[in-house]
Amino acid sequence: MTSAAGQGLVHQYMCGIRFDGLWQYQVATPSGRKRWKLLPLDAGGTQAADPDGLKWCLTRCAAAMAQRPMQKDPDHACIPTSSDNAPEWEALFPESEIGRFSGTDKTSMAGLAAVMERGGCALLKLALRRRPLHSGEDAASWVWVVGVELQSWSSGLQGNCSPAKPKVRAALVVSLSLSAPWASGFGARVSWEEAGPCVLSSVDGLRLQGRCVAVVTITPKRRPVAE
């Protein structure tokens, strides 16, 4: 799914989701057909039991990727508690390839657009400074990357107006701690500088600075077919 986001900017989303009103995702029926089902983005009173939001992200991500109804009470033993346990991730996403990267290097972030094109998505673990004036460790939280913001431009050379390869400008994310983006395709943008800090800017005005400590990409082994 792709939408224009202003001059030179395009938002590219993972396959199988839509948000023309409430958020929905495709679910396969026993007959093999697909229908659109509500994807709840509210916290549902689970924040105390899920402080870093990883379970929230994975529960929704797994349902969207597998095109199945979301489990209201998933088996906790089947939900990874960190990005380190490869077998748990592979068991949760058996039809996908799992990629793991440390932080926001050029390879991991530039590859987000390719992951979206193949029908996949990603999760970021962010360490954000919620109280810049106080000492202490940054608060760690997970966000689900459902899209990317791409910037494209023409070369500007006379007689050559072919566009250059788009650059990934930001990750478009939703998470447990962000307001549910009922009328838009994301709850916040996560932007970054090369070898520098990342900035989370939410649709309701929140702006937090910090760093991305982990990137996990989830890419289908076979490209899904949307209806």
Which tens digit of pLDDT belongs to each residue from 44-87?
Answer: 655 667 889 999 999 999 999 999 988 765 555 578 887 887 88
Helix (H), strand (E) at residue 201:
strand 198-202
Which span out of 9-23, 28-42, 52-66, 83-97 was modeled with the highest average pLDDT?
Answer: 52-66
pLDDT at residue 141 greater than cutoff 50: yes
Q: Is residue 208 part of a domain?
A: yes
> Percentage of the chain with pLDDT > 70?
75
Domain of residue 97, residue span: 2-220
The answer to whether residues 224 and 67 touch, using CB atoms and an 8 Å cutoff, is yes
Is residue 137 over pLDDT 70? Answer: no
The answer to whether residue 31 is domain-embedded is yes
Query: Is residue 226 assigned to a domain?
Result: no
Whether 160 and 191 have beta carbons less than 8 Å apart is answered as no
- Look-up of token digits 């657009």: 113
Segment 162-182 shows an average pLDDT of 81
pLDDT at position 149:
92
Chain position carrying tokens 């009328």: 183
What would the mean pLDDT of 34-49 be, rounded to a whole number? 78
Residue 148's CATH number: 3.90.70
Number of domains forming the structure of the chain: 1
pLDDT average, residue stretch 10-24: 88
Q: Of 212, 218, 226, whose CA–CA distance to 115 is shortest?
A: 218
Q: Is the pLDDT of residue 160 over 80?
A: no
Tokens 């797994």: give the residue: 62
Quote the pLDDT of residue 148.
93
The three-class DSSP label of residue 95 is coil
Phi-psi region of 103 (alpha: psi -120 to 50; beta: other; left: phi over 0): left
The predicted structure's pLDDT at residue 101? 83
Answer yes or no: is 227 within a domain.
Answer: no
Beta-strand runs (E) in the chain: 2-4, 9-13, 17-18, 24-28, 34-38, 96-101, 121-129, 139-151, 167-174, 188-192, 198-202, 207-220
Structure tokens at 11: 């938002």
